């Protein structure tokens, strides 16, 4: 039998490689025409759009948050703040909770401060939930240093005091004044519910504005690095649009809520009134 010549081999391999090349071109065209657009559609579905007029605030975008204030992270809680970031109302409800507020967690009836001392932020959060029969999604625990860092991030804030106040290191006149983070922290850590409401509302109205839109990540770094929190980067990413609308709101966006109730004779327990509990349930549900 006659052996194939070298030219026959060359023709075979040339034909083989040309066929492969043609198949590759056909596959590439098929990918760009069909598969790649489908992949882009899938990616767009996963990403949460943060721009555009089609966004409508939903109840699921709202967040109930328990803020726990301590002089140092390992020490007892000095104050509690119950916040509701309400996406539909585009505001933040601010409720100062007395540490003496009584609630029951796992058959233990104690004050919020005692629940925190016993079981940390989990017990304090459960105590606030059981007190008002609401769900609280997140918590933020702050100490003196993290409070100061947050306020100083914005260059301080203005506060109008109706009475003179003395803290550990500062004297405050009954006047409108500019305060830095250290002063704001000492005022909050006095544990005065009315004062805490005023300081918090002023911070929200003055600092959480449109100017924060472009450098939110720097502010979030303080939250994650200097505070303990249940929030994650993904949580804040998913809330990007309602947060942006909140920051862009020009009028006051903090709504203070006072809790009516009474202290027991020895002052170790605070019992909210039924009307106050009903009001909190309505706002935070």
CA geometry: angle 151, 156, 158, nearest 5 deg: 115
Q: What is the pLDDT of residues 37-51, one digit of tens each?
A: 444 433 333 233 445
**Looking at the predicted structure, is the pLDDT value of residue 52 above 80?**
no
**Which of these ranges, 49-53, 77-81, 155-159, has the smallest mean pLDDT?**
49-53
Q: Is 53 helix (H, G, I), strand (E, B) or coil?
A: coil
What is the pLDDT averaged over residues 183-191?
A: 98
Q: Report the alpha-carbon distance of residue 284 to residue 256 in Å, rounded.
A: 13
pLDDT reported for residue 238? 95
Q: How high does pLDDT run on average in the chain?
A: 88
User: How much of the chain exceeds pLDDT 90, in percent?
Assistant: 78
What is the pLDDT averaged over residues 144-163?
A: 98
Using CB atoms within 10 Å of the CB of residue 225, give its burial: 0 to 12 exposed, 13 to 18 middle, 19+ buried. exposed
Q: Tell me the C-alpha to C-alpha distance, in Å, between residue 221 and each of 202, 234, 235, 249, 281.
A: 22, 14, 14, 23, 32
pLDDT band at 202 (very low <50, low <70, confident <90, very high): very high
**Looking at the predicted structure, is the pLDDT value of residue 11 above 90?**
no
User: How much of the chain exceeds pLDDT 70, in percent?
Assistant: 81
Q: What is the pLDDT of residues 224-278, one digit of tens each?
A: 999 999 999 999 999 999 999 999 999 999 999 999 999 998 889 999 999 999 9
**Does the global pTM surpass 0.85?**
no
pLDDT reported for residue 55? 84
Query: Residue 20, Cβ neighbours under 10 Å: how many?
Result: 10
Give the right CATH number for 59-154+181-284 from 3.40.630.190, 3.40.50.720, 1.10.40.60, 3.40.50.1820. 3.40.630.190
Q: What is the pLDDT of residues 106-129, one digit of tens each?
A: 999 999 999 999 999 999 999 999
pLDDT reported for residue 31? 52
pLDDT reported for residue 49? 42
The pair of three-digit structure tokens given for residue 84, joined into one six-digit string: 């509701």
Q: Report the alpha-carbon distance of residue 178 to residue 39 in Å, rounded.
A: 53
pLDDT reported for residue 8? 57
Which of the pair, 199 or 37, is modelled with greater confidence? 199
Query: Residue 182, Cβ neighbours under 10 Å: how many?
Result: 18
Provide φ and ψ at 94, rounded to 5°.
-120, 115
**Looking at the predicted structure, is the pLDDT value of residue 98 above 70?**
yes
pLDDT reported for residue 47? 34
């Amino acid at each position: 039998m006659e052996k194939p010549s070298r030219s026959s081999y060359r023709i075979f391999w040339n034909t083989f490689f040309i066929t492969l090349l043609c198949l590759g071109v056909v596959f590439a065209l098929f990918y760009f025409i069909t598969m790649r657009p489908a992949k882009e559609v899938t990616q767009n579905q996963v990403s949460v759009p943060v721009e555009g007029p089609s966004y409508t605030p939903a109840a699921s975008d709202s967040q109930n948050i328990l803020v726990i204030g301590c002089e140092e992270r390992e020490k007892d809680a000095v104050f509690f703040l119950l916040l509701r970031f309400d996406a539909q109302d585009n505001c933040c409800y601010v409720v100062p909770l007395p540490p003496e507020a009584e609630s029951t967690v796992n058959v233990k009836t104690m004050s919020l401060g005692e629940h925190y001392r016993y079981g940390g932020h989990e017990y304090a959060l459960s105590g606030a939930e059981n007190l008002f029969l609401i769900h609280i999604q997140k918590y933020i625990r702050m100490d003196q240093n993290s409070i100061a860092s947050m306020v100083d991030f914005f260059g301080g804030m203005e506060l109008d005091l109706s009475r003179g106040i003395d803290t550990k290191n500062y004297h405050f006149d009954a006047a409108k004044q500019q305060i830095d983070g250290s002063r704001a922290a000492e005022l909050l850590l006095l544990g005065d519910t009315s004062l805490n409401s005023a300081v918090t509302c002023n911070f929200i109205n003055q600092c959480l504005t449109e100017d924060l839109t472009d450098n939110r990540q720097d502010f979030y770094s303080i939250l994650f690095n200097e505070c303990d929190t249940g929030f994650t980067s993904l949580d804040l990413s998913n809330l990007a649009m309602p947060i942006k609308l909140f920051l862009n709101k020009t009028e006051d966006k903090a709504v203070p809520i006072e809790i009516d109730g009474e202290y027991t004779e020895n002052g170790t327990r605070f019992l909210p009134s039924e009307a106050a509990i009903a009001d909190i349930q309505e706002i935070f549900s």
